[in-house]
Structure 1
Amino acid sequence: MSSSNNSTVYFVTGTTSGIGLEYVNKLILNPSNFVIATVRDLSKISNDLQKLSQSNPKNLKIIELELESQSSIDQLDEKLQTIVPNGVIDVFIQNAGIYGNQSSTLTHTDRSSWLQLYQVNSLAPVLIFQKVYPYLQKSEVKKTIFISSLSGSIGSYFPAPVASYGQSKAALNYSIKALSEELRSEGFKIIAIHPGVVITKTLEKNYKTFAPGVFQDFIDANKITTDVSVGKQLEIVDNLTDDQSGKFWNYDGTEVQW
């Protein structure tokens, strides 16, 4: 079963700005795509997203989803029931997350920071997937994309001062790998993607907190725009195969070690 004969239904979280907004930008260019985009607060939608919504009222729907609120996650199914075409979602792109307020090391991170990042970056994506899962089951596509980070890779560890963020992404990576194995027999294709060093408000805000050195040099040498990052990510998403499921991919199509 699919949403319709000609359309693909995308569910994208965290679309107010940055990578999530660029996903909506690119997906909506195809009039046969139907996009459900989530934001933390409907009263604070960015001008860019508002313009996209006004220009595409039939194939872009925006709903509120707060990752730190269990009640918001619990209300997701009720909202989806009213807008999902034929009860089918083809592609789930879990982008929403937070970086935290400052750079952190294991020796200087407080308990509340660990717990907040774990709740938002590690736990919420899985709880959201649980709500979207029945809609994906009805699709012939069944693609699930989690936006992760190289900082969550243990095998290719990079010595950046992002202990709480990196740990939250490492925990997310475990869930991604586990889900891919649990649902492989159902035809699901589930992967993690490192989007690259993307020039977003989050990067610009936190760049100055890093002391000059290897990590700052790495950012300067590798930073890319959201246009480049999402364009490359969509090439992976569009061409995703069963053999690629259960793996961690860099935005440029190379494999990353878990």
Structure 2
Amino acid sequence: MSSSNSVYFITGTNSGIGLEYVNQLISNPSNFVIATVRDLSKISNDLQKLSESNPKNLKIIELELESQSSIDELDEKLQTIVPNGVIDVFIQNAGIYGNQSSTLTHTDRSSWLQLYQVNSLAPVLIFQKVYPYLQKSEVKKAIFISSLAGSIGSYFPAPIASYGQSKAALNYSVKALSEELRSEGFKIVSIHPGVVVTKMLKATTDTISSGDFQDFIDSTKITTDVSVGQQLKVIDNLTGEQSGKFWNYDGTEAQW
């Protein structure tokens, strides 16, 4: 199934990549999008405008990745809004970079645990809640937005170690889930969205003044519309044989 006549569940949609996912998917009125934000009282103007323009096929719900009670309440919320109890595509986009330099010699325990809680553990716990709705679909696609920062095979020296570890842990879960659910027809992958111009990229570059990593960012950064447009092509064409792999936004395979 292509990116039409589908029900999408997307986390972290208040800005950046998540917002652009909503923007592009909702442009087709045959799609139904369930978008999550951390705090319903702090919805961005851009997401609010999309909601007002698409009241029938865009529903916004609150989901705080650092709160287990918020995750536990997700199923109750979905029961009232999911068309026919079916979700076709799960897109776990929400994540954090952290507020430290993220070198192994300087990351404190609380910052480390927060990164793991939000970037590694919460995505799987959220998937557990959405899983029954995906089971009812003929599509059964689960997309986890990861990062090459979590790649061991293509490791790039940079002060992003604890963030990278949290994404490496996420990638392991994606691989494990793909094997656990392969017999059910699920297609589950990690996607590196590219070096995308977002608030998170600014947080990263604010900790780096110069050097090869900064040069890499400057030479490869792309806009959210380019990233999401390419990612949707990958998602639309995703096959069972591609499940359990790590993909770049442009459809090339990334190294674990």
Task: Give the TM-score of the pair, scaled to structure 1.
Answer: 0.97
Partner of 1:159: 157
Tell me by how many angstroms 1:141 deviates: 0.2
Aligned twin of 2:112: 114
Please say if residues 100 and 111 of structure 2, whose CA atoms lie closer than 8 Å, have aligned partners that are also in contact.
Answer: no
Matches within 5 A, 1:219-234: 219-234=217-232
Contact 1:13 1:96 in 2 (8 A): yes
CA shift digits 1:201-256 (9 cap, x unpaired): 12123312113101100000000000000000000001101111000000111101
Read off the aligned partner of 2:187 and give its amino acid letter: K
Shifted more, 50-59 versus 151-160: the winner is 151-160
Pairs within 5 Å for 1:1-258: 7-258=5-256
Contact 1:12 1:20 survives alignment (8 Å)? yes
Note if contact 1:88-1:135 (Cα within 8 Å) is conserved in structure 2: yes
3-state SS of the aligned residue for 2:101?
coil
Residues of 1 paired with 2:238 and 2:28: CA distance?
19
Where 2:35 maps in the other structure, the secondary structure is strand
How much identity, in percent, do the aligned residues show? 86
Per-residue CA deviation, residues 187-210 of structure 1 (Å, 9 max, x unaligned), is: 000000000000001212331211
Q: What is the root-mean-square deviation of aligned Cα atoms in Å?
A: 1.0
- 3-state SS of the aligned residue for 1:198? coil
Higher mean Cα deviation, 204-213 or 129-138?
A: 204-213
CA distance in 2, matches of 1:208, 1:50: 29
Q: Give the unaligned 5+ runs of structure 1.
A: none
Cα offset for 1:158? 1.1
Amino acid at match of 1:123: L
Encode CA deviations 1:47-72: one digit per residue, 9 max, x unaligned: 00000000000000000000000000
Contact 1:19–1:226 (CA<8 Å) still a contact in 2?
yes
Matched residues in 2 for 1:105 and 1:204: separation? 17
Task: Answer whether contact 2:151 2:255 (CA < 8 A) is retained.
Answer: yes
Do the aligned residues in 1 keep the contact of 2:194 with 2:248 (CA within 8 Å)? yes
**What is the number of residues matched between the two proteins?**
254
Give the Cα separation in 2 of the matches to 1:87 and 1:150: 34
How far does the alpha carbon of each residue in 1:96-119 deviate from its partner, in whole angstroms, 9 at most, with x for none? 010001321111111111100000
Q: CA deviation at 1:30?
A: 0.6
SS in 1 for 2:213: helix
Residue 124 of structure 1 aligns with an amino acid whose one-letter code is A
Q: Is the 8 Å Cα contact of residues 51 and 59 (structure 2) preserved in structure 1?
A: yes
Kept in 1, the 8 Å contact 2:101–2:107? The answer is no
Secondary structure in 2 aligned to 1:249? strand
Kept in 1, the 8 Å contact 2:97–2:203? The answer is: no
